[in-house]
Amino acid sequence: MTEVVYTQRQKISPFYRQLLAVSGVVLYMIGTGANIAFPGVLLQQLREPDTAVQLTEEHESWIASILGLCLISGILVAPFGLQRLGRRLTNQLSTLPAMGGWALLAVAKDPGVLLASRALQGFGMGVQAACAPVSIAEYSSPEHRGAFLATIAFSFATGMFTAHVFGTILYWRTAALACGSFYALSLILISLTPETPPFLASKGSYSECRRSFRWLRGNTDKSERELEVLLNSEQNKVVNTKADESKLKMYRKIIKKPEFYKPTFIMMFMFILFQISGMTVVPSYTVPMMNEVTGGSIKPYTSMLIVDAVRFATAIFACFITDKFGRRTVLFFGIIVTVVSLLITSLLLYLRDFGFIPNDYKWIPVIPTLMYIFGKTSGILPIPWAIAGEIFPLAYRSIGSGISGMFLSIMFFVVVKTAPTSFRSIGVSGTFCIYGIFTAVCGGFLYFLLPETKGKTLYEIECYFKGIGDNNGKVKSESVKMLEVENVEGG
């Protein structure tokens, strides 16, 4: 009775409470976008003759790519934090190495310190890469989950744009402090929100789960039904857990379950697609890339800010279309636009190199390049993060996010580290052609693997991967009812 009175006195709607809960994670991801994009301006400033830190080409490639290696260490730690410490505390702790990295970067006087600062940022990013989609999905109601998960894409784009603006108008040390401030704001907002209801339920804290759930969702009939399904499901799992089962035996069982290996396989392809489309290469090497694309007809910093502006505007657009249309529709729209744009850009650059395009029109490849930015930002950037937050069952959400995140970090390192060599050996035209082909291949696999998850509860998505749903991810109502009855009896 006390809990009901508590929720009835809420003066702020559930949407705004969910928005507050999500905003701390969003600010963190803005910092992540700044981490990825900062080499684009940092390396440009450090190439000046009177620079404070002298770098070789090898230093430059490591500064841009070391985030990918250190993401691995953060991702390895993340499942432990998510399972033992909870979503909220893991989010809070992940801000500390990120802030430390930016502070160290601001005072760096040699390449080693620069690399150490980037390593700290990468570790924090790794923890958050696993934690962010899980946290946002668990804080959100089904009707708002798509839009909130799409804010990850918006956050990346905002962070990239902000880092490039700061790096254009400020000295790189000052710009580093400005970018690091996002993590301080993130820590404050995360501290104002409760733990996620699914995590509390998984730990048997049912009273706290009810309070958190009703704080986030209110106490409508629909939300109360969803709350009871969540509680009954977790209570049933606790009853059926064998205390004497070894960890090794438990993990062997987990990897054989379709609700674990199918989502993990899908997310592997998702994150390979995310990186092979050039998602992190472009912001890291925007200036040299666009200098070749424009043929020197547009000033480097101007072209960089044009790319950032298109990415930022498209990320806002992506928030709306992800909320209005199905995940599959948005993803494959983005893939098609990306592949076509990359191949057209590659073809135009080849034609220009062989003299088939007059000098007065050497800027023409800029048009499909901007369409490429639009395509990958509208579909390939938001949907993998949206799916990552939805697709794993609660029991395996931490470990599943960690395994799929490993592919994200490995591909991050490989693609960003090899990009300078690729640009030198086969040019932007050849690199774009390779990215286009591999993006199409990944898209082909996902066309047959990925179900539709829009509008489904996290419980319904879990049921689908257990084999009780149709090809669009729509769970058979009688099967859900049957499972709910079983869960109630088991609880």
Of 321, 344, 342, 345, give the one whose Cα is nearest residue 333.
Answer: 321
Neighbours of 318 (CB within 10 A): 28
Of 384, 319, 380, give the one whose Cα is nearest residue 133.
Answer: 384
Tens digit of pLDDT for each residue in 65-94? 888 888 888 888 888 888 889 999 999 999
Of 335, 344, 383, 307, give the one whose Cα is nearest residue 298.
Answer: 307
pLDDT at residue 244 in the model: 46
Q: Is the pTM for the entire model greater than 0.85?
A: no
Its sign, for the CA torsion 209, 476, 325, 127, is: positive
> 3-state class of 176 per DSSP?
helix
Q: Six-digit token pair at 71?
A: 């993401």
Query: To the nearest whole percent, how much of the chain has pLDDT over 70?
Result: 90
Tens digit of pLDDT for each residue in 360-388? 888 899 999 999 999 999 999 889 888 88
Q: Six-digit token pair at 458?
A: 């996290």
Domains of the chain: 2-193+254-455 (1.20.1250.20)
| Residue 299 Ramachandran class (φ > 0 left, ψ -120 to 50 alpha, else beta) | beta
- The helix or strand, by DSSP H or E, that contains position 21, with its residue range, turns out to be helix 14-37
Q: Six-digit token pair at 419?
A: 């990009």
d(CA 128, CA 124): 6
Q: What is the DSSP letter of 468?
A: -
pLDDT at residue 28 in the model: 93
Q: How many helices and strands, by DSSP H and E, does the chain display?
A: 22, 0
CA distance to 12, 31, 259, 419, per residue, from 285 (Å): 44, 18, 39, 8
DSSP readout, 105-134? Answer: HHH--SHHHHHHHHHHHHHHHHHHHHHHHH
Regions of the chain where pLDDT drops below 70: 1-11, 236-248, 250-251, 469-491
Instruction: Compute the half-sphere exposure of residue 266: CA atoms within 13 Å on the CB side of its CA.
Output: 27
Residues 6+ apart with CB under 8 A from 149: 133, 136, 137, 140, 322, 382, 385, 386, 389, 390
